[in-house]
């Protein structure tokens, strides 16, 4: 009788088991958000480090050449057929990006050496171009770049760190080129705005960003101060389509990021017909990381004043900045 009674006292009842399971479930529910927050904090730190590497590469490039890398060189965009652009731009599509030009300063010498910068980086070109790249001319560069992913150009929190799938000709061609989380920023100009052409006569020079088409700023051009100017920011893309950029290994349409609407703006056709691309933002809660001219990285809040955010993209507008 004593043995049987003892065994009964050692066993758990069904109610006790359910209580224990419920307690464990509550503990997991309490711990899970903390774990997720810790993981996101680590991803955001890695993203910050990526941008610092890019900033250092930009500065080293400037030390070597006395100017920042061109945002794009002979991109296959519509504006290249515009009267404000030399015909030679449209006749010699190269689709070079600033990301490609700084490869040697990101310890990617082998990849950079494998590229022929006198030939197109891809087949992306609008039908309005004077001539379009041929597969034969671009073959060497395409073989080196398609399917190549670089950690430095990908935020760990970006779910769209993936290759493009557009294989048909046109300015969106991006087959197997990896998207980048970090894009060049302008206040409101897009890929096809001739104001971005660096060497042309333009009465809006004081509104320029740091990078342009076939040219870029020198450090002396940052009259607003390099610590008050954004070079790159994270790129937001809420759609699952792999059509849209920016892609680091080649220019395609939707390469430049606009600060026209702010940060982390929802995809709303009522806000902009083109809200699917050209947007600044991230999958970090509350804002996005941005690289400034002095090489520092700041987290720009999605609640920051829009005018202030736009002024941050201009190197010489002379405007007083608000809080950001």
Domain ranges of the chain: 47-312
% of the chain beyond a pLDDT of 90: 57
Count of residues in the chain? 324
Record the pTM.
0.86
Specify the higher pLDDT residue, 275 or 226. 226
Kindly report, residue by residue over 44-85, the tens digit of the pLDDT: 999 999 999 999 999 999 999 999 999 999 999 888 777 777
Specify the higher pLDDT residue, 239 or 94. 94
In this predicted structure, what is the pLDDT of residue 241?
65
Does residue 150 carry a pLDDT above 90? yes
Kindly report, residue by residue over 109-139, the tens digit of the pLDDT: 999 999 999 999 999 999 888 888 999 999 9
Question: What DSSP string runs through 145-179?
Answer: HTT---GGG--TT-TT-SBB---SSBTT--BTPBB
Secondary element (H or E) of residue 232: strand 230-236
Q: How many CB atoms lie within 10 A of CB 286?
A: 12
Of 201, 255, 231, the residue nearest 314 (C-alpha): 231
Of 142, 210, 150, the residue nearest 181 (C-alpha): 150
In sequence order, what are the residues at sequence separation of 6 or more whose Cβ sits closer than 8 angstroms to the Cβ of residue 68?
58, 61, 62, 98, 210, 211, 216, 217, 218, 231
Range with the lowest mean pLDDT among 8-17, 75-84, 265-274, 291-300? 265-274
Q: What is the mean pLDDT of residues 301-309?
A: 94
**Between β-strands 182-186 and 257-263, what pairing exists: parallel, antiparallel or unpaired?**
parallel
In this predicted structure, what is the pLDDT of residue 10?
60
Kindly report, residue by residue over 228-263, the tens digit of the pLDDT: 999 999 997 665 566 788 999 999 988 999 898 889
Identify the top-confidence range among 55-69, 71-85, 155-169, 175-189.
Answer: 55-69
Structure token digits, residue 188: 């409101």
In this predicted structure, what is the pLDDT of residue 184?
96
Does residue 201 carry a pLDDT above 80? no
CA 263 from chain centre, in angstroms, equals 13
Kindly report, residue by residue over 15-36, the tens digit of the pLDDT: 767 777 877 777 766 666 655 6
């Amino acid at each position: 009788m004593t043995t049987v009674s003892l065994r009964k006292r050692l066993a758990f009842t069904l109610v006790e088991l359910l209580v224990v399971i419920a307690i464990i479930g509550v503990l997991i529910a309490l711990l899970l958000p903390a774990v997720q927050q810790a993981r996101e904090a680590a991803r955001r730190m890695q993203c910050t480090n990526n941008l610092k590497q890019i900033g250092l590469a930009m500065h080293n490039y400037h030390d070597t050449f006395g100017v920042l890398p061109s945002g794009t060189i002979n991109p296959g965009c519509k504006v290249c057929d515009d009267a404000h652009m030399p015909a030679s731009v449209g006749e010699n599509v190269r689709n070079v990006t600033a990301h490609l030009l700084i490869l040697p300063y990101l310890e990617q010498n082998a990849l950079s050496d494998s590229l022929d910068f006198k030939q197109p980086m891809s087949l992306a070109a609008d039908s309005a171009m004077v001539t379009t790249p041929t597969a034969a001319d671009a073959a060497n560069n395409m073989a080196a770049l398609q399917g190549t992913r670089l950690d430095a150009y990908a935020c760990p929190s970006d779910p769209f760190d993936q290759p493009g799938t557009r294989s048909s000709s046109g300015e969106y061609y991006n087959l197997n080129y990896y998207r980048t989380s970090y894009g060049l920023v302008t206040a409101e100009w897009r890929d096809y705005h001739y104001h971005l052409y660096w060497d042309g006569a333009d009465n809006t020079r004081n509104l320029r960003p740091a990078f342009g088409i076939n040219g870029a700023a020198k450090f002396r051009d940052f009259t607003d101060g390099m610590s008050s100017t954004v070079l790159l920011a994270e790129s937001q893309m809420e759609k699952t389509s792999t059509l849209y950029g920016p892609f680091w290994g080649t220019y395609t349409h939707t390469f430049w990021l606009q600060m026209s609407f702010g940060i982390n703006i929802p995809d709303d056709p009522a806000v902009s017909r083109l809200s699917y691309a050209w947007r600044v933002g991230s999958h970090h809660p509350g804002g996005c990381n941005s690289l400034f001219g002095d090489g520092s990285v700041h987290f720009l809040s999605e609640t920051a004043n829009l005018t202030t955010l736009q002024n941050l993209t201009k190197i010489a507008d002379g405007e007083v900045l608000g809080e950001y």
